[in-house]
Amino acid sequence: VDVSAVPVGSSITKMWRGKPVFIRHRTDEEIAEAKKVDGEKASLRDPQLDADRVKKEEWLVVVGVCTHLGCVPGGQKASDNRGDYDGWFCPCHGSHYDTSGRIMKGPAPRNLEVPPYAFVSDTLIRIG
């Protein structure tokens, strides 16, 4: 996936193995929000540090499938409801994810999955 044209603060969706993959070019504020939640790791339902979920902190790559019942959460478009934590929100049952894709509120049992991926170059990501 070529991410060279993805501006800071926006996202793209690509399909991988029949599932949407959200690739977000995070702002400094979104990165700071994610790091702030790191301090609350012990209280998270599915405790993971932001650094364990990203390879480059400005890029977040997650499978865009809610871990509750498999819906596709909103948050990819600027006009979408991004929930209480400025990440993604699944309106079907009310799961809220933060700027690192971690479950913060609602029925989802786990964070949004991070697929296997690697940076082939500064602007090219290989998923899978």
> Which amino acids are annotated catalytic?
93
Q: DSSP character for 26?
A: -
CA 117 vs. chain centroid, Å, equals 14
Contact 57, 13 (CB under 8 A): no
Distance, in Å, from the CA atom of 68 to the CA atom of 92, rounded to the nearest integer, reads 10
